[in-house]
Amino acid sequence: MKLWEIAHSRTGDKGNISNISLIAYDPKDFDLLREKVTAERVKAHFAGIVKGNVVRYELPNIQALNFVLYDALGGGVTRSLSLDMHGKGLSSYLLDMEI
């Protein structure tokens, strides 16, 4: 299934760094997200977009993961050549991941 079926997500940007939350609708699915959606898996999913590391953080009481993607925004909002300079659409791409 796609992550979209069990989780929701929002992207933020700071400079050339993107952060993408992944929040389980049902707390019961949080362990599944923790097991399947590793930093390595996210880095591979965003191949071509993310040039740097991906680091994963957890907010357990709200069943959320927070992925920080370094060197991910084509130089950052001020100088990116991308149509989506902020990378705001990246959350939807994460939810397209199959687990």
Partner 1 sequence: MKTIRIGSGAGYAGDRLEPSLELIEKGNLDYISYECLAERTIAIGQQAKLKDPTKGYNSLLEYRMKRALPLCWKYGVKLITNMGAANPQAAARKCVEIARKHGLIGMKIACVTGDDLLPVIEKYMDTEVWETHAPLSELPGEIVSANAYMGVEGILQALKQGADVVITGRVADPAIFMAPVIHEFGWDLDDWDKLGKGTMMGHLLECGGQVTGGYFAEPGKKDVPGLGHLGFPIVEIAEDGSFFVTKVPEAGGMVTKETCSEQICYEIHDPENYLTPDVIANFKQVRFTEVGKDKVKVEGATGKPKTGTLKCSIGYKDCFIGDGEISYGGPGCLNRAKLALDILKERLELVAPGQFDEMKYDLIGCNSLYWNPNYRYEEPSEVRVRIAGRARTKEIADLIPNEVEALYTNGPAGGCGAVKRTREIVSVASILVDRNDVKPVVELLEV
Q: How far is the CB of 91 from partner 1 (least distance, A)?
A: 9
Q: How far is the CB of 64 from partner 1 (least distance, A)?
A: 6
d(CA 30, CA 52): 26
Is residue 30 close enough to count as binding partner 1 by CB under 8 A? no
d(CA 16, CA 53): 12
Regarding beta strands 17-24 and 11-14, do their DSSP bridges make them parallel or antiparallel, or are they unpaired? antiparallel
Binding pattern for the stretch 68-97 against partner 1, x by CB under 8 A and - elsewhere: x-----xxxxxx-xxxx----xx-xx----
Tokens, residue 69: 């993607």
Tokens, residue 88: 């705001």
* Residue ranges in contact with partner 1 by CB under 8 A: 8-10, 12-17, 19, 21, 23, 25, 46-49, 55, 57-62, 64, 66, 68, 74-79, 81-84, 89-90, 92-93
